[in-house]
Amino acid sequence: MNGRPAMLVTGGAKRIGAAIARAFAEAGWHVVIHYGRSREQAEALAAELPSAEVFSCDLDDWNAGPAMVAELAERLEDWRVLVNCAGVFDLDTAQDLQPSVFETAMRVNAATPARIGQAFLAQARSTTGRRLIHVTDQKLENPNPDFFSYTMSKHALSSTIPMLSMARTDPRDRIYGLAPGAILASHDQTEEETEVSHRMNLLQRKTTPQDIAGTALFLASGWLASGKTVFVDSGQHLLSQERDVLFLARQ
């Protein structure tokens, strides 16, 4: 690692997680790229970065996440940042909650990130204090009836941010939320639908993965007070949208 500070990003092989991994690597960090099933993408990304490694575990397994943290904490000498970016985004609605969708969303999107965060704060060694960053969603402030279980799980994860901040034992530690808006195509969106849906915000601009990655880098500095959430969505969370933009773009 050549004296580089270390960070772990879950779901770091693809999409927003990969953008975060690249941004930290370019800023001089050693990056641990967690993946679930995207081994080829994770290894290809790691090969492109100056200092990186990959680590696989199933975030739907109650104990796998904390075990990953314990193993990394033993050998990472200056592990400063954990970004919980991995998640599942499956459709159910306020009219029809699907138990299997709910159970997976609550484990992968809420319970496991909370457990990983607890293990990180308890075990990671850092010379400057640790930064735990939970990636949530602008739906916290702008909910709609679609993706019902997903939205509940992000509310549950968000609730841990002030609680973990209050419980921290090292005043140098910081716990943050990072709430994106619509960033990349989801489900079966066409390119045309994506262009429309991703501009359904106050600025009528597309928020990029690089916007999210840059904000994660800012939060890694720890200047913001612990327990806060930053919305990076071009103002989408300030609107009231009756449905997910995936469907609004088709109307």
Q: Are the C-beta atoms of residues 6 and 76 closer than 8 Å to each other?
A: yes
3-class SS of residue 52: strand
Read off the amino acid at residue 146: D
Which one-letter DSSP state was computed for residue 225? Answer: P
pLDDT digits (tens, 9 = 90+) for 222-234: 899 999 999 998 8
Between the alpha carbon of residue 90 and those of residues 28, 37, 97, 100, 213, the distances in Å are: 35, 17, 11, 10, 24
> What's the one-letter identity of residue 227?
G
Tell me what pLDDT residue 1 has.
Answer: 66
pLDDT band, very low/low/confident/very high, at 245 (cuts 50, 70, 90):
confident
Please tell me whether residue 142 adopts helix, strand or coil conformation. Answer: coil
Q: What angle do CA 112, 185, 47 make, to 5 degrees?
A: 65
Q: What is the pLDDT of residues 34-93, one digit of tens each?
A: 999 999 999 999 999 999 999 999 999 999 999 999 999 999 999 999 999 999 999 999
In this prediction the pTM is 0.95
Two tokens, residue 163: 């609680």
Gyration radius of the chain over CA positions: 17
Give the pLDDT confidence of 191-240 residue by residue, as tens digits: 777 777 888 878 788 889 999 999 999 999 989 999 999 999 888 999 99
Domains of the chain: 6-183+205-231 (3.40.50.720)
Report how far residue 230's alpha carbon sits from residue 178's, in angstroms, rounded to the nearest whole number. 5
Q: Rounded to an integer, what distance in angstroms lies between the CA atom of residue 117 and that of residue 73?
A: 12
**Nearest-angstrom CA–CA distance, 76 and 7:** 9
- Residue whose pair of structure tokens reads 């849906």 in the numeric block: 197
- In this prediction, residue 12 carries a pLDDT of 97
Tokens representing 239? 């609107």
Place of tokens 């990671």: 124
Residues with Cβ < 8 Å from 104, sequence gap 6 or more?
Answer: 60, 88, 90
Mean pLDDT computed over 136-145 = 96
Residues belonging to the chain = 251
CA dihedral 104→40→11→137, nearest 10 degrees, is -90
Closest CA to 17 of 130, 139, 180, 157: 180
